[in-house]
Amino acid sequence: MVAVRDRGWSASVELPFDARSVGAAREVLRGLLLAWGHEHQIDDATVVVSELVTNAVQHAGEQGQLRLELRATGEVLRLELADGSSVRPMAREIVDSDERGRGMHIVDVLTARWGVETHGDGKRVWVELD
């Protein structure tokens, strides 16, 4: 079950630890960005949210729910994904023959800024798109 709370220029989305949450996050993101007049950020933001949710589902384990926070301030879009794991995502060294492991490199290229904040019950990966 996906729960969305849209508060105008910010929204919160609760997602289960499930591979289907990747598609659900993309769908919710697209709808919100259209409603907020941020159509120009849909493509990059959709790829970024896909990578973040995929990483969380694959690496964070089933520790609680995923919480996606979205906030638009002027032209800056901030996405935050919280999960119950303290394991920080890292951009690994890329080897041409690898079929996986490029997610955080993609995030780094498509965003203006990104980082990770740890807290008592897990972590929050945040990104900003200009």
* Per-residue tens of pLDDT for the chain, all 130 residues: 566 666 668 999 999 988 999 999 999 999 999 999 999 999 999 999 999 999 999 877 666 689 999 999 988 999 999 998 888 876 666 665 555 556 888 999 999 999 999 988 899 999 999 9
- Which tokens sit at 68? 């996606």
Residues 6+ apart with CB under 8 A from 34: 42
Identify which of 60, 50, 47 has the alpha carbon closest to the alpha carbon of residue 17: 60
Q: Which amino acid is at 130?
A: D
Q: Characterize 11-44 residue by residue with b for buried, 16 or more Cβ atoms within 10 angstroms of its Cβ, and e for exposed.
A: bbbebebeeebbebbbebbbebbeebebeebbeb
CA pair distance 14, 65, nearest whole angstrom: 7
CA pair distance 4, 118, nearest whole angstrom: 24
- Supply the pTM of this predicted model: 0.87
Ordered domains of the chain (ranges, CATH): 3-129 (3.30.565.10)
